[in-house]
Chains A and B, each alone.
Chain A
Amino acid sequence: MRERPLSPHLQIYKPQLTTVMSILHRITGGALAVGTLLVVWGLAAGAAGEQAWNAFSAFCHSPLGILMLFGWSVALYYHLCNGIRHLVWDSVRLLDLQGAYRAGYAVLIATAFLTLITWWKVLT
């Protein structure tokens, strides 16, 4: 198909909570798709035996491992909370601008809260 000209959009529109959270939902979904491999690795390692499990555990305790787990948890909680916001929209609620914004802020707060208590529990 021949390349067709597009009107500028991203270069012009001011980023807003709604649009940013929307693309974040997609990005976190993609990140989770990759990160769920960590879960599968863990299960496979556990099934394989103690040696494989220890290697997996060592990775999880490494700086890169902790970073990935942290990122995965943030992505999970965000995608989960914003997913609920989507389900609320599917029930034809909160579709007005004010409702969408309020729900959006609630999602961000919930994500931060869930991430915090999870890692608080992990580190103590």
Chain B
Amino acid sequence: MSGDKSASSHWTQERLTSLANIPLMLWLVWSVVRLLPLSHADFTNWLHQPLHAGLMIAALVSVFYHTMLGAQVIAEDYIHDQAKLKATLGVLRLYFSAAGLIGIISVLKVAL
């Protein structure tokens, strides 16, 4: 996620990730609800399937990218000092990238 994106590409990417998130998040919630109570074996068997692992990774990427885009909008609204804004966006980017990465690596560890 680079820092220097034009406003229109931010707008487009926000909409694209929104659209992707709709089916992905509904899929995620319903998968979990359907599998309850989720034992560790249930979890491992479910995530081991390539389709589920793939969708899970897609969901993580789309959600955390969407979250960063949204967080950027909020930060720009409330932080006016340019230096503080840049620092905050940097920290947020790091946080969401790390969270997404941990998620993806976890999925890969189970699935592969």
Say yes or no: A36 contacts B63, CB within 8 Å: yes
Residue of A nearest to B73 (CB): A26
A122 and B33 in contact, given A44-B102, A80-B21 (Cβ under 8 angstroms): yes
Say yes or no: A47 contacts B22, CB within 8 Å: no
Residue count of chain A within 8 Å CB distance of chain B: 30
Q: How many A-B residue pairs have CB under 8 A?
A: 74
Complex-state Cα separation, A123 to B63, whole angstroms:
27
Say yes or no: B99 contacts A76, CB within 8 Å: no
Q: How large is the interface on B (under 10, 10 to 19, 20 to 34, 35 or more residues)?
A: 35 or more
Residue of B nearest to A25 (CB): B70
Q: Mark B69-84, 1 if CB is under 8 A from A, else 0.
A: 0110010000011000
How far is the CB of B64 from the nearest CB of chain A, in Å? 7
- Residues of chain B within 8 A of A32, CB atoms compared: 67
Query: Is A96 an interface residue, CB under 8 A from the partner?
Result: no
Q: Mark B88-110, 1 if CB is under 8 A from A, else 0.
A: 00000000100110110111011
- Residues of chain A within 8 A of B100, CB atoms compared: 40
